[in-house]
Amino acid sequence: MRFHHMAIIVKDLQAAVQLWRDVMGFSVDIERVIPDGPGPGPDTIMYPELLDDIFKVKGARSNMVLLSSKEGALIELQQCENPAVNLTPPENLRYSHTGFHELGLVVDDIDAVFAKVRAAGYETQTEYVWPCASLGRSFLFYDKEGNMIQIWQQRGAGPGAWS
């Protein structure tokens, strides 16, 4: 089994796109409102009955952006119009609650990514990149809605590789 994508439900779609495109370097592949067709078809991502069934509301509607990294990682951003999006309290996005709370991504130059994330004004969990046993180096940061993203550099990879 291989990883395909991570869907992130957001309240501010443009702020989320800015993070993933401008800071993380992803490309916008698809940007549209769904449902986007009357029924199943070669160009339809979601048709009304399917989206209603998935979202469990009649008249489901969402603004969707699909982004990809040059390595093939996919991020799906959804800003739902129906049902309305409720911002999750930041304390419920941490380790003390169940659910998926951390998206981990591998990079080649963690120091450059750390500097770029900090320069863009995102909160980092620590003021530094830390070593993690013999696995590599890492840091955590939070998007504007409090979602946790962990950045990894594998041991021995990239500029200034460490031992």
State the DSSP code for 122. Answer: P
pLDDT tens-digit series, residues 24-68: 999 999 999 999 999 998 999 999 999 999 999 999 999 999 999
Residue 1: strand, helix, or coil? coil
Does the pTM exceed 0.85? Answer: yes
Q: Which long-range contacts (CB under 8 A, 24 or more apart) does 150-155 make?
A: 150/102, 150/103, 150/104, 150/105, 151/104, 151/105, 151/107, 151/110, 151/113, 151/114, 151/117, 152/104, 152/105, 152/106, 152/107, 152/110, 153/106, 153/107, 153/108, 153/109, 153/110, 154/106
pLDDT at position 159: 58
pLDDT at position 140: 96
pLDDT at position 160: 53
Domains of the chain: 5-82 (3.10.180.10), 90-154 (3.10.180.10)
- CA dihedral defined by 34, 78, 57, 82, rounded to 10 degrees? -80
Confidence of residue 158 (pLDDT cuts 50, 70, 90): low
pLDDT at position 50: 94
Compute the average pLDDT of residues 85-113: 91
Query: Which residues sit opposite 77 in a β-bridge?
Result: 8, 65
pLDDT of residue 70 exceeding 70, the answer is yes
- Tell me what percent of the residues of the chain surpass a pLDDT of 70: 96
Beta strands in the chain (DSSP E): 5-9, 27-34, 61-68, 74-82, 102-106, 123-124, 130-132, 136-142, 148-154
Compute the average pLDDT of residues 117-121: 98
Compute the average pLDDT of residues 119-128: 96
pLDDT of residue 119 exceeding 50, the answer is yes
pLDDT of residue 163 exceeding 50, the answer is no
Token pair for 108: 């080649």
Compute the average pLDDT of residues 122-142: 94
